[in-house]
Chain A
Amino acid sequence: MSPQRLGHPDLGMGVGLRSAHFSHILEHQPGVDWFEVISENFMDSQGRPRYVVDQIAERYPLVMHGVSLSIGSCDPLNFDYLQRLKRLADGIRPRWISDHLCWTGVMGLNTHDLLPIPLNEESLRHVVERIRIVQDFLQRPLVLENPSTYVTFADSTIQEWEFVSRMAEEADCGLLLDVNNVYVSSVNHDFDPTEYIGRLPHRRIVQFHLAGHTNCGTHLIDTHDGPVIDPVWELYRLAHELTGGVSTLLEWDAKIPEFPVVHAEALKARRWRQAHSSPPPATRPAIPAAAPVSVPQPLAHLVVDVS
Chain B
Amino acid sequence: MSGQPANLARLQRWMQAVIMHPDGVEGGVGSPEARRLVDIALDQLEQVIHPSRALGSAERLEIYVDAYHLRLMDCLRNQFPALVNALGEATFDAVAFGYLGAYPSRGYSLNKLGENLPQFLAQNRPHESAAPADAPSSWPDGIIELSTFERAVQEIFDGPGVEGQRLLEQAELSAIAPLDWPGARLKCVECLRLFRFAHPVNAWYSQLRHVPCPPPGPCESHVALVRQDYTVRRHELSRPQYELLLCLAAGSSIASGMEAALGGARDDVADLAVQVQGWFQQWATGGFFSGVQ
Chain A residues in contact with chain B, CB under 8 A? Answer: 40-41, 43-49, 51, 68, 72-74, 78, 81, 103, 105-113, 115, 117-118, 122-123, 125-126, 129-130, 133, 150-155, 188-190, 217-219, 221, 292-293, 295-296, 299-307
Contact = CB atoms under 8 A, between A and B. Distances in A.
Contact of A301 (B4, B49, B79): B79
Contacts of B230: 47-48, 51, 305
A46 B9 contact: no
B153 A304 contact: yes
B7 A301 contact: no
Given A45-B158, A151-B60, A293-B66, A126 B5 contact: yes
B71 interface: yes
Nearest to B76: A301
Nearest to A105: B16
Interface stretch (B103-111, B131-139, B168-176): B103-111
Contact of B20 (A111, A130, A221): A111
Given A40-B108, A301-B79, A113 B232 contact: no
B74 A118 contact: no
Interface residues of B, number: 64
A113 B11 CA distance: 16
A109 B61 contact: no
Interface in B60-96: 60-61, 63-64, 66-68, 70-72, 74-75, 78-79
20 contacts: A40-B110, A48-B230, A81-B108, A107-B13, A113-B71, A115-B12, A115-B15, A117-B8, A126-B8, A129-B2, A130-B1, A151-B50, A152-B49, A152-B52, A153-B50, A219-B52, A293-B66, A304-B154, A307-B231, A307-B233
B72 to A, nearest CB: 6
A189 B20 CA distance: 24
Contact of B232 (A74, A108, A219, A306): A306
B76 to A, nearest CB: 9
Give the 7 A-B residue pairs with the shortest CB-CB distance, closest first.
A48-B230, A68-B108, A74-B9, A218-B54, A301-B110, A47-B158, A150-B63
Contacts, number: 191
Contacts of A112: 68, 71-72, 75, 105, 110, 113
B166 to A, nearest CB: 18
Nearest to A104: B108
B46 interface: yes
A46 B11 contact: no
Interface in B153-184: 153-154, 156-161, 163
A153, A292, A300, A302: residue with the most chain B Cβ atoms closer than 10 Å: A302
Contacts of B13: 74, 106-107
A217 B54 CA distance: 9
A51 to B, nearest CB: 6
A305 B12 contact: no
Nearest to A216: B63
A306 B157 contact: yes
